[in-house]
Structure 1
Amino acid sequence: MCGIAGILDVNGSAPPIEAVLHEMNQIQFHRGPDEGSIFIDEKIGLAHRRLSIIDISTGQQPLINDQRTAAIIFNGEVYNYRSLREELIELGFTFHTHSDTEVILQAYCAWGEKSVERLRGMFAFAIWDFEKQTLFIARDRLGIKPLYYAMLENGQLIWGSELKVLEKHPELRRDMDKLAVEDYFAFGYIPEPRTIYSQVKKLEPGYTLTIRVGDKAPQLRQYWQASFADTLNQSEESIQEELIHRLKEAVDLRLIAEVPLGAFLSGGVDSSAIVAMMAEIQKDRAVNTCSIGFDVKNFNETEFAELVVDRYKTDHQVEVVSANDFDLIDKLSALYDEPYADSSAIPTYRVCELARKRVTVCLSGDGGDEVFAGYRRHKWHMLEDRVRSMVPKGIRQPVFNFLGDYYPKLDWAPKFLRAKSTFQALQRDALAAYLHTMSFVPDARRQKLFSDAFKQELGGYHALEVFKRHANDFDGDDALSLIQFLDMKTYLPGDILTKVDRASMAHSLEVRVPLIDHEFLQWSNKIPSKYKLEGANGKAIFKRSLESRLPHDVLYRDKMGFGVPLGNWFRGPLKDKLRQRVLHGKMIDSGIFDGNELKSMVEGHINGTQNNDQMLWALMMFESFLQRTQ
């Protein structure tokens, strides 16, 4: 696991400057504290920071082949590199290292750009082809590893593993992408390919970028897409059996390392499943596990983690942290570079900090909710979809529109009385309803939140366009699979994987995610939806397949999540800071927000008549970004 950076002089007028490349590389020192190197040729500059995991003695980068026809910088792990290496040796290629990096480079020399389709793992890499004067960049299929790039006005293409890498280039413009602001307050993050800066893009998961010296712009190609077109036609029992076999294989592939290795164990189904598979595979030694506990019972899952620890006799480490762990706010802003509003980044940062005390590689259960339909919003969306299908559109829209407008917003009331959001969802079509369900700041509230001038700058753009674009690529035929697909294209890379990458790399920790191994995921997508979500029971077949391996209380307890008590923070220890940072200074000066609505959101939450915890966190993190960059 590493950090990469580079500069390409595309039009021959701005060769790379070593000092600039060095600064770009050093700002990501945390991603690879073991080694750092730079290679500069006439038109290309390649930089790499290394966290040594495999082939510690000879895996240095940038790596150039013997013929000096190609060079590579690489971030990630390719788990099938040994079998590819044997295949390449049979084709006549020779190797000087035992690293997956050299395998990727030689695979490119053998099979060209199609080589990326042979790789199984998590990766972002750049290959410079000296002969063709061409740069080839690729990102893994699900977006586990990040890649940012920008085409500068001086004719340089720059790229790196984090946005802060590109910020170190003096020619980068930092004008804000207004559409990204709308996306951010809708989703809580900025979905690919946008970033907060107009000039910078994220390379989307499953895409490659190619640019030849003299080209005016890079060429983007999609080499992989999650598919729901096929359905398994076999018994549930045989599906369960194959599920465990395939999951164990995905876990086993990720146990390759020359450094200490362990697993996160939250006490939830997904992380517990990974630990169970690890324990069955490595019978000769205990699995290293770690958990974070909180000093508030409603946020503490350690008792469930202990059930798994007891069953598999893991070498467990647990630390209890304060639920009022809000000192990380500004550190998180710097860590994520652009606005990012998932507050579970705080405990994620802490559990990575804990894990790094004993291991360098950790396996995680991330992705299980996307693959097996485990989010509460999946259940609610399908219930709403059933109602929508029973009520004709001509009746549904006016009736639920009326109820959505006039039913009071009872944030303070018991959950069964809070029907306003449901009525608002029922008046929409499926895509708009799902966005409404998962929005940080719902559509109607965003209309009030943004100033009239800013809404004019948006030019009618709406975050729903993100879903519409991806829905056009969906090849399945049922409503549940569609929202799983949307999660895989947006929430998984934009929120979950971004959170884990930045939090783990801040501590120089590599995290591997077996549940979104692309072969396991693609097979899992073929499982009929009826086996994934059964009434209110999400991940149904996944849980049943694990019944002989995990305690019942772990499998079938209510989903807790990895949250923090935002509502209490903003009514208690953070209320003065909230007022100071959201209602004054750069937030008002930005021209983006309506000051009266900001005050209504803040004061309504503090006095208890509204529950705006997520929205206020999104505003706090946006203000932190403005403070850091403006």
Structure 2
Amino acid sequence: MCGIAGIVDLKGRRDIDTALLAAMNQVQFHRGPDEGGTFVEPGVGLAHRRLSIIDLSSGQQPLFNEDHSVVVVFNGEIYNFPALTEELKAAGHVFRTHCDTEVIVHAWEQWGADCVKRFRGMFAFALWDKRRETLFLGRDRLGKKPLFYAHLPDGQLLFGSELKILLQHPGLPREIDPQAVEEYFAFGYVPDPKTIFRHVRKLPPAHTLELRRGEAPSAPRAYWDIPFAELPPMSEAQAAEELLARLREATRIRLVSEVPLGAFLSGGVDSSAVVAMMAGLSSEPVKTCSIAFNDPAFDEAAFAQQVADRFHTEHRVETVDPDDFSLLDTLAGLYDEPYADSSALPTYRVCQLARRQVTVALSGDGGDENLAGYRRYKWHSYEEKLRAALPLGLRRPLFGFLGKVYPKADWAPRVFRAKTTFEAMARDTVEGYFHGVSVMSDRLRTPLYSAAFRRELQGYHALEVMREHASRSPTDHPLSLIQYLDMKTYLPGDILTKVDRASMAHSLEVRVPLLDHELVEWISGLSPDLKLRGGEGKYLFKKALEPVLPHDILYRPKMGFAVPLAAWFRGPLRERLRTAVLGPTMADSGIFDMNYVASLVEQHQSGRRDHSAALWSLLMFDGFLRNTMGDRGTRLANAAA
């Protein structure tokens, strides 16, 4: 795993500031502490930090083709590179190394922009073709590896693995994007392709960007999508057998490494399944790690130990204080833009623990999106049955009225907390799902902004993110559609972003078998009834794993990777919260109605409401303003006022 950076002049061949390029590369040192390299010619500067995993002796980057006319910097792993190497050698290409990076330059020569369609793995890369004077950027299908880029007013293009790399350039405009702010407070992250800055973009998953010097910039181009194409008929037993066979194969190709390799083991279904596959493929004990909590409400260590014992893994556990909030400021520097998933805290810790034992770790991420494991899928399916019974023209006024008058009872048992359900029932499928997953609902978010900032938004609503993806969805099945939406938004924007930044902060590579694109394609074609049946998510997956994993691992209630935010904000973080979200940095930004923010704090700390998710998102936004924007924060944000 690595980090990439670059400056390319798309108007001419002006000299590259080598000191600036070096600074851009140095700020991502954590992504690749083993080696660093640069390539500079008139108008082009590429930089790379290397975390050595494969071909330790000769895989240095930037890496060239035979005549040095094509050069690449690459972050990721291409698991099918041995087969591609042989195919390209047969076509006449000459290889100098035994690493997957070299496949990219020859694949570009052979297949051009379609080269990405041949790669199986996780990747973000930038390739410069001198003869064509073309810059080619590519990102993997699911968005496991990040890639940021920006067109500068003077015609230069910047790119990098993290936003902080681009922020080293003094010519990069730092203007906050109002639409990105709206999306952040809805989703808890800024979805692709936006970033928090108006002039910086993320290359979306499964997209490439081809830019030729002297020509007008082109738009990113999609090269793949999740098909949701129905599979040929098969029995449930046949489907279960093939699912495990495909997972085993996706795991096998991710075990190639010249450095220590292991796995995260939470004790949940997905990580346990991956460890089970690894154990069956390895002659040595699998190295596993997990974190434990003193608070049983958050602790899954006993389940992880049960799986470790079953497969005789070399297991390591570290207890983390559930009241460990010492990383709050670290997170702001880690993610560069606002990011409000509080499970980033324990994820950081488990990556820290894993790195003491291994350099590569396999994870179970992706199972919930692929196989309908989230509880919200079950609730959404119930709501869809109700929606189907009444037309929207009747539901919207009826349930809209009930949603307004029904009290918000966060303190009550779930059966009496119907306000959110009523609100969801007044909406169509996409709007209802958006409402259900929002960190701050419309009811909370609309009054959050100042009048001046609402004018900047010009009526923009974060729902448009999901509307746009839904318009391109290959499926309209209610369950498959929301899985598709999650795999376009939540998976790359939240889950994979969290894992990339937390792991790379510790120079740890994470591989994700359940997000192998061939496996994802196949699973998408399964009948929705094999994913969610009778309220049981991952139905087929669990059935397939019954001979492999204990029943209480497969069928116990899902816990998640949570921290006690509600208690923190009423206890040890009470004053810190008030100081931050009610302080001058937030007030001077011009974005917020500070009286309303104060009411959210007061309602939560008095115990009348649970606004913990909203308050965490505000706390993280304050961290962004202070840590990333610095003294620019007030000036730039006030441009909206």
TM over 0.5: yes
- Superposed, which structure 2 residues align to 1:544-555 within 5 Å? 544-555=543-554
1:148 aligns with 2:148: yes
Aligned to 2:382: 383
Q: Secondary structure at the match of 1:258?
A: coil
Q: Deviations over 1:497-544 (max 9, x none)?
A: 000000000000000000010000000000100110112211111111
**How many equivalent pairs are there?**
629
Taking the aligned partners of 1:232 and 1:491, their CA distance within structure 2 comes to: 29
- Superposed, which structure 2 residues align to 1:197-346 within 5 Å? 197-282=197-282, 284-346=283-345
Counterpart of 2:280, as a letter, is E
Q: Deviations over 1:298-342 (max 9, x none)?
A: 000001111101110100000001001111011001000000000
Taking the aligned partners of 2:15 and 2:207, their CA distance within structure 1 comes to: 27
Taking the aligned partners of 1:360 and 1:68, their CA distance within structure 2 comes to: 31
Aligned to 1:434: 433
Aligned to 1:60: 60
Q: Secondary structure at the match of 1:327?
A: coil
The CA deviation at 1:454 is 0.9
Q: 8 Å contact 2:124–2:138 — kept in the other structure? A: yes
Q: Deviations over 1:159-211 (max 9, x none)?
A: 00000000001110100000000000000000000000001000000000011
Q: Deviations over 1:419-453 (max 9, x none)?
A: 10010000000111101100001011111111111
TM-score by length of 1: 0.99
Taking the aligned partners of 1:309 and 1:155, their CA distance within structure 2 comes to: 55
Taking the aligned partners of 1:311 and 1:413, their CA distance within structure 2 comes to: 40
Q: Deviations over 1:359-398 (max 9, x none)?
A: 0000000000000001111111110011010123232112
The CA deviation at 1:399 is 1.4
1:590 aligns with 2:589: yes
The CA deviation at 1:589 is 1.0
RMSD: 0.8
Q: 8 Å contact 1:349–1:503 — kept in the other structure? A: yes
- Superposed, which structure 2 residues align to 1:381-460 within 5 Å? 381-460=380-459
Taking the aligned partners of 1:215 and 1:145, their CA distance within structure 2 comes to: 28
Taking the aligned partners of 1:14 and 1:423, their CA distance within structure 2 comes to: 60
Unmatched tracts of structure 2, length 5 or more: 634-641
Judge which range, 390-399 or 201-210, deviates more: 390-399
Taking the aligned partners of 1:85 and 1:378, their CA distance within structure 2 comes to: 42
Q: Secondary structure at the match of 2:402?
A: helix
Q: Secondary structure at the match of 2:145?
A: coil
1:365 aligns with 2:364: yes
Aligned to 1:8: 8
Residue 191 and residue 103 in structure 1: after superposition, are their counterparts in 2 closer, same or farther (change >3 A)? same
Aligned to 2:501: 502
Q: 8 Å contact 2:13–2:42 — kept in the other structure? A: no
Q: 8 Å contact 1:230–1:526 — kept in the other structure? A: yes
- Superposed, which structure 2 residues align to 1:100-179 within 5 Å? 100-179=100-179
Counterpart of 1:344, as a letter, is S
Counterpart of 2:382, as a letter, is L
Counterpart of 2:344, as a letter, is A
Taking the aligned partners of 2:589 and 2:103, their CA distance within structure 1 comes to: 49
Q: 8 Å contact 2:10–2:212 — kept in the other structure? A: yes
Q: How much identity, in percent, do the aligned residues show?
A: 57
Q: 8 Å contact 2:13–2:43 — kept in the other structure? A: no
Q: Secondary structure at the match of 2:37?
A: strand
Counterpart of 1:161, as a letter, is S
Taking the aligned partners of 1:497 and 1:627, their CA distance within structure 2 comes to: 25
Q: 8 Å contact 2:66–2:94 — kept in the other structure? A: no
Taking the aligned partners of 1:464 and 1:175, their CA distance within structure 2 comes to: 23
Counterpart of 2:352, as a letter, is E
The CA deviation at 1:14 is 4.0
Taking the aligned partners of 2:244 and 2:460, their CA distance within structure 1 comes to: 44
Counterpart of 2:240, as a letter, is Q
Q: Secondary structure at the match of 2:536?
A: coil
Counterpart of 1:233, as a letter, is P
Q: 8 Å contact 1:13–1:155 — kept in the other structure? A: no
Taking the aligned partners of 2:619 and 2:69, their CA distance within structure 1 comes to: 49
Q: 8 Å contact 2:14–2:42 — kept in the other structure? A: no
Taking the aligned partners of 1:476 and 1:233, their CA distance within structure 2 comes to: 18
Q: Secondary structure at the match of 2:258?
A: coil
Counterpart of 1:27, as a letter, is V
Q: Displaced runs of 4+ in structure 1, greater than 3 A?
A: none
Taking the aligned partners of 2:181 and 2:393, their CA distance within structure 1 comes to: 34
Unmatched tracts of structure 1, length 5 or more: none
Aligned to 2:519: 520
The CA deviation at 1:261 is 0.1
Aligned to 2:575: 576
Aligned to 2:485: 486
Taking the aligned partners of 1:168 and 1:88, their CA distance within structure 2 comes to: 38
Taking the aligned partners of 2:340 and 2:145, their CA distance within structure 1 comes to: 19
Q: Secondary structure at the match of 1:326?
A: coil
Taking the aligned partners of 1:409 and 1:415, their CA distance within structure 2 comes to: 11
Aligned to 2:473: 474
Taking the aligned partners of 2:54 and 2:177, their CA distance within structure 1 comes to: 39
The CA deviation at 1:68 is 1.7
Judge which range, 474-483 or 172-181, deviates more: 474-483
Q: 8 Å contact 1:229–1:477 — kept in the other structure? A: no
Aligned to 1:604: 603
The CA deviation at 1:241 is 0.5
Q: Deviations over 1:227-262 (max 9, x none)?
A: 113244211110000000000000000000000000
Taking the aligned partners of 1:509 and 1:394, their CA distance within structure 2 comes to: 52
Judge which range, 16-25 or 209-218, deviates more: 209-218
Q: Secondary structure at the match of 1:60?
A: coil
Q: Secondary structure at the match of 1:297?
A: coil
Taking the aligned partners of 2:240 and 2:559, their CA distance within structure 1 comes to: 25
Taking the aligned partners of 2:228 and 2:14, their CA distance within structure 1 comes to: 46
Taking the aligned partners of 2:608 and 2:13, their CA distance within structure 1 comes to: 60
Counterpart of 2:142, as a letter, is L
Judge which range, 30-39 or 85-94, deviates more: 85-94
Counterpart of 1:218, as a letter, is S
Q: 8 Å contact 2:285–2:313 — kept in the other structure? A: yes
The CA deviation at 1:15 is 3.1
Q: Deviations over 1:586-610 (max 9, x none)?
A: 1111111111110111011001000
Judge which range, 520-529 or 219-228, deviates more: 219-228
The CA deviation at 1:13 is 6.4
Q: Secondary structure at the match of 1:299?
A: coil
Q: Secondary structure at the match of 2:180?
A: helix
Taking the aligned partners of 1:451 and 1:231, their CA distance within structure 2 comes to: 51
Taking the aligned partners of 1:289 and 1:114, their CA distance within structure 2 comes to: 38
Q: 8 Å contact 1:14–1:154 — kept in the other structure? A: no
Counterpart of 1:206, as a letter, is A
Taking the aligned partners of 1:601 and 1:143, their CA distance within structure 2 comes to: 34
Q: Secondary structure at the match of 1:99?
A: coil
Counterpart of 2:499, as a letter, is V
Q: 8 Å contact 1:287–1:315 — kept in the other structure? A: yes
TM-score by length of 2: 0.97
Q: 8 Å contact 1:14–1:155 — kept in the other structure? A: no
Aligned to 1:95: 95
Taking the aligned partners of 1:509 and 1:117, their CA distance within structure 2 comes to: 27
1:78 aligns with 2:93: no
